[in-house]
Structure 1
């Protein structure tokens, strides 16, 4: 079936974090703090997240971006909302989790979203995924007429360390490094695309919470190893109790092995996924973890423990 008509793309994945490096065979672009999104643009706009859920109802201000492309195409990119000139993950996630149309309309007027494209996968009636990355980038630039709502991700060759230091100084999320000749592989993680970040982040399943002194809420985190839920620790900073009050509770722990220190936990059905940012360390523990937000574009079973 035609890739455009099928509308079921699972985007290429970014490999795990590594130290910044310089290499003439690579290009580097800023990692944007938003929602990964596939845009199908023809006589109308269709936006889908990684779970293939429709996103246009959440960002109605982008309904006309199809007018900014010369031909029918499929773009891979990021939905972002800028606050103070930088992408704000909380705002775009809040929008994605909102179903009230009135609130969505107010938000779209106050903090309008943008789609930033960094790849083109299809043009007119032809797949482009087997072309080298730089060739796809050139086609992308030729196809898109940029506006405030549809932009193209900029990149620089060779100087990954310098771009990473700039991103860190501007308090941006990090940098994505890509091989110049890399092809596009649906739903695959290769060493052709990797990330440099000042802080690491991972997706976790929310398994319960503990109310501490002064009303502070600590979330209990888990990840799956196959289909077994593994305890991964707690996150407190940034969490609000009211965010969890709608969750379905369980009479006992969902973990096969629950470590001590969780005797006062309220256990939850493991259906919610969140992003936690932390300082990486060699022991694999969550050092200085910060709750970053919920996400609905990932299934809990996809939160798998990283194994060597």
Structure 2
């Protein structure tokens, strides 16, 4: 094998829409909710995370599948766990923390899969300087020749813009499809370069304004919640920074809350993957906001910040439940 880990994956930049009809030809792929993974198959398999770490100890069934493929290859994929009818990112995270016998038990209870979308090397032939359409043909040939099945899965791909639009339907989001990857069929594989595009599936939803960052009169972002089965306010999302107009609108109606607020003395992290506490000001949870959100939800919380759209004066907090 000529390639070796760590190998930086090719990246994508976010876009707001699909290319218009009649634009330059593009290939569309489903963007699944998992861990970006580059898999080195063969006698000494390596299951590489985006940052170069070996995931094999946490996912031993994937390492065995890579060792048993029967040919040395380097594949670009998303590592996923399927649970209760959808891709389960929270279960994937939990599995990533386990080792040894615990990882083996987790692999039997919640097996992982690889959704493969690119082939970078096969049988000593490096394909990174081949156009994507040829790499895809080689990948499909590999799946057919080896009769690959679980844990291997071939990422759906289409040239049909209407099919790609259908993948943005919220029903796909419920199943764990975050959006669409948009790729030039002639593109070469360029590690660590944002040469592809990604469009996240988004939908509108409602949540209760429970706290703000900044000040109550001049908020900079919102902490949003929903009522659980017992009627208690639970955090579900944080907003992106508010526009000046939105900050003025909200600052005029929000009221500071006292110690009776359900989030009084609660601690939330300032960002994904950090333990730094977030400084926030609780407000009386009496206003409902409409927000635009993507489909990535972990244990009831939106993984990515949502975008504030407007206040919903026609809705009461009691209307908004998990």
Task: Please name the residue that 1:199 is paired with.
Answer: 202
User: 2:31 — aligned with what?
Assistant: 31
* Equivalent in the alignment of 2:286: none
Equivalent of residue 183 in structure 2, options 173, 178, 181 = 178
TM-score (norm 1): 0.63
The answer on whether the counterparts of 2:72 and 2:122 sit within 8 Å (CA) in structure 1 is yes
* 1:30-179 mapped onto 2 (5 Å cutoff): 30-66=30-66, 69=69, 71-96=71-96, 98-144=97-143, 145=146, 146-159=148-161, 161-168=162-169, 169-171=171-173, 172-179=177-184
Shift of 1:220: 8.7
Q: Deviations over 1:14-61 (max 9, x none)?
A: 111321235561111111100000000112421010111110111111
Q: Which residue of 2 aligns with 1:305?
A: none
Name the one with the larger strand percent: 1
Moved over 3 A (4+): 21-24, 67-70, 99-103, 214-223, 240-244, 247-250, 278-282
* CA-based RMSD: 3.9
Q: CA deviation at 1:150?
A: 1.3
Tell me by how many angstroms 1:178 deviates.
0.7
Separation of aligned partners in 2, 1:280 and 1:156: 30
Deviation, 1:10, is 0.7
Q: How many residues align?
A: 234
C-alpha displacement of 1:241: 6.6
Q: TM-score, normalised by structure 2?
A: 0.61
For 2:245, the equivalent position in structure 1 comes to none
Deviation at 1:197, TM superposition (A): 1.4
Gaps of 5+ in 2: 204-222, 226-231, 242-261, 283-300, 310-322
How far residue 151 of structure 1 moved from its aligned partner, in angstroms, is 1.8
Question: Any unmatched runs of 5+ in structure 1?
Answer: 201-209, 224-235, 263-273, 283-308
